[in-house]
Structure 1
Amino acid sequence: MTLPSLFVSHGSPMLAITDTPARRFLAGLPTLLPRPRAILVVSAHWETAEPMVNKVAKNQTIHDFFGFPRALYDLHYPAPGDEALAEHIATMLGQSGFATDLVTTRGLDHGAWVPLMLAWPEANIPTLQLSVQTSRGPDHAYQIGRALAPLRDEGVLIVGSGSFTHDLRRFRGQPVNAAESADVTAFSEWMNTAIVHNDTTALLNYRELAPYARDEHPTEEHLLPLFTALGASDGPPQRLHNSTEHSILRMDAYSFGSIQASLTI
């Protein structure tokens, strides 16, 4: 079973308890692809100098946010880990020139557990997390994906979890359904055109080419998971979802590799 790789936008932690189009999309995600043997999440909320993979028997739920309703802190996602798979991933990355450490004390941050809780609420699929290297940029993240691509043939779903736009400096308490800002639209549609046309060169240089790129991503950690998902598959890209929250957060999601082909396996 060969799976596509995915990029999803996880938005605010409130996504876990707020009815929005993005939440409904994530809840329906399992209908689009076969059940994975395991899931590897590349989350924007674990930044390290070099790649790290969590190697645990059972994942703890990290509530890495402050000032939110008590209901969010009461949520837990105790998905099992897969220690042998963690070692396999570290070996794969090492063989491609990426020195990778195994971490036995880290569970899943909200960039991982919020979307997975919506899609697979039973928390019974082995789940691992891989860190991002923000200072290394898009090409590094893309090459990480290239190194991980064989996992897709092993039934492992590679999920990049970030945000299609992420300029939180402009959040002023706008309602979740506030009208989208024009600059968010311009950036997102440029990115979508480059993605669906599989223009990897343009995407890797988005910071210089895309309109408002440095406004929508003052720092790159929330977009880098997209490049890992892109690198993990040569298959056709497809936009699975697009919506906006709080005027400034685009919640787009993409598959890389044919969803339909997967469904026929």
Structure 2
Amino acid sequence: MDGRQGTFWGLGLGPGDPELVTLKARRLIQEADCIVVPKSSIAGESLALEIARPFVGDKPVLQFEFPMRRNERELAPYWAAAAAEIADRVGRGERVVFLTLGDCLTYSTYCYVLQELRKTLPESVIHSVPGVTSFAAAAAATSFSLGEKDERIAVVPVPRGDLGPVRRALEEYDTVVLMKVAKQLPAVVRLLQEMGLDGQAVFASHVSQDGEFITRDLASLLDNERGYLSVILVRRRGGDGR
């Protein structure tokens, strides 16, 4: 493309509200030659693409499916295929942007595609733009202070099996952000009840999206399936974990 050097940008678009997309991310989308978005096998259109629609216009969009699995060996071919297409376009001088929910470097598929791209592209053409995380948006929506003075904060993905790592984080840190709650939601609620922390927690799902749900009544979630795209904020004292 006229001898121009191609570039690749990973863009965090925030949790869902288009007004939370940074000015830089918006500009880069508008300047891009090609838009790349991840798509899960269980969803319809990519949520990231829905957020960016007002800025995409008629630009070509490549949607890569990434199955909802945890086995890295099974997922590796999907990451490699996306990276190969991106690298080819960057090599031809295109400006390519990869859109993700939240922050692009926080529990994002982008991280794995980035690892693949570093095998073939120079660091000078690879860039990342931060976005508002779901837990920052949840804290703002509930005026929940994540940390004050010298308090310690932990961001913990909820494991599928034993909740020992979650218990230890809750015992050790002043504020704990629980992510990837999913089907473990009832078990996490029971653990918080056992530790006497359920009254100092906030549950939020689909923050700033259609279907947003926020509650402090964690007991109401015991027979609930709201764990997808959710976060739980837990604070041992004050701020207003209550």
Quick one: higher RCO (CA 8 Å, sep 6+), 1 or 2?
1
TM class by shorter-chain length? Answer: 0.3 to 0.5
Please give the TM-score of this superposition, normalised by the length of structure 2: 0.40
Q: Which of these two proteins has the greater Rg computed from alpha carbons?
A: 2
